[in-house]
Chain A
Amino acid sequence: MTACAQWKDAIAGHALGEAADPALSAHLAACPGCAQGLRESQAAAAQMDETLRRLTKVEPPPFGPERIMARIHEGKPAATTGWWRWAVLAAAAILVAVILWSGRPPRQTDVAALVMWRSPTESLLRPPLDAAWSTMPRLGQGFYEVKPLGEKHAQ
Chain B
Amino acid sequence: MTAMPEPGGDSAGFERLMRESYRLVYQIAYSVVGNAADAEEVTQDTFLTAFEKISRLRDPEKFRPWVARAGWRLALNRRRGATRAMGRDGAWIANRPASENPEAKVVERDFESRLRARVELLPEKLRDVVLLIGVEEMDVRTVAGILKIPEGTVRSRLHLARRQLLREVMR
The residues of A with any CB-CB pair to B shorter than 8 Å are 12-13, 15-16, 40-41, 44-45, 47-49, 51-58, 60-61, 64-65, 67-69, 71-73, 76-81
Q: In the complex, which residues of chain B have a beta carbon less than 8 angstroms from the beta carbon of A12? A: 163, 166-167, 170
The residues of B with any CB-CB pair to A shorter than 8 Å are 11, 14-15, 18-19, 22-23, 26-27, 30-31, 36, 39-41, 43-49, 51-52, 74, 77-78, 92, 95-97, 111-112, 115-116, 119, 130-131, 134-136, 159, 162-163, 165-167, 169-170
Q: Are A68 and B44 in contact (CB under 8 A)?
A: yes
Q: In the complex, which residues of chain B have a beta carbon less than 8 angstroms from the beta carbon of A64? A: 22, 26, 40, 43-44
Complex: A105 Cα to B124 Cα, angstroms? 50
Complex: A65 Cα to B15 Cα, angstroms? 8
Partner of B52, one of A56, A68, A69, A77: A77
How far is the CB of A116 from the nearest CB of chain B, in Å? Answer: 63
Interface residues of A, dominant DSSP:
helix
How far is the CB of A4 from the nearest CB of chain B, in Å? Answer: 15
Q: Taking A16-B159, A52-B134 as contacts, is the C-beta distance between A58 and B52 under 8 angstroms? A: no
Q: In the complex, which residues of chain B have a beta carbon less than 8 angstroms from the beta carbon of A71? A: 44, 48
Q: Taking A60-B40, A81-B48 as contacts, is the C-beta distance between A55 and B116 under 8 angstroms? A: yes
Q: In the complex, which residues of chain A have a beta carbon less than 8 angstroms from the beta carbon of B97? A: 54
CB < 8 Å A-B pair total: 117
Q: Are A48 and B169 in contact (CB under 8 A)?
A: yes
> Can you report 16 residue pairs joining A to B where beta carbons are below 8 Å apart?
A16-B159, A44-B170, A48-B166, A52-B134, A54-B96, A54-B112, A56-B131, A58-B27, A58-B39, A60-B27, A60-B39, A69-B11, A72-B14, A77-B52, A78-B45, A78-B49
Q: Taking A44-B170, A52-B130 as contacts, is the C-beta distance between A76 and B112 under 8 angstroms? A: no
Q: Are B51 and A72 in contact (CB under 8 A)?
A: yes
Q: Are B40 and A61 in contact (CB under 8 A)?
A: yes
Partner of B11, one of A40, A41, A56, A72: A72
Q: In the complex, which residues of chain A have a beta carbon less than 8 angstroms from the beta carbon of B116? A: 55
Complex: A72 Cα to B169 Cα, angstroms? 45
Q: Are B18 and A57 in contact (CB under 8 A)?
A: no
Q: Are A41 and B111 in contact (CB under 8 A)?
A: no
Q: In the complex, which residues of chain A have a beta carbon less than 8 angstroms from the beta carbon of B78? A: 80
Q: Name the residue of chain A whose CB is nearest to the CB of B116.
A: A55
Q: In the complex, which residues of chain A have a beta carbon less than 8 angstroms from the beta carbon of B41? A: 79
Q: In the complex, which residues of chain A have a beta carbon less than 8 angstroms from the beta carbon of B45? A: 78-81
How far is the CB of B116 from the nearest CB of chain A, in Å? Answer: 7
How far is the CB of A47 from the nearest CB of chain B, in Å? Answer: 6
Q: In the complex, which residues of chain B have a beta carbon less than 8 angstroms from the beta carbon of A51? A: 111-112, 115
Q: Taking A56-B30, A72-B48 as contacts, is the C-beta distance between A45 and B166 under 8 angstroms? A: yes
Q: In the complex, which residues of chain A have a beta carbon less than 8 angstroms from the beta carbon of B115? A: 48, 51-52, 55
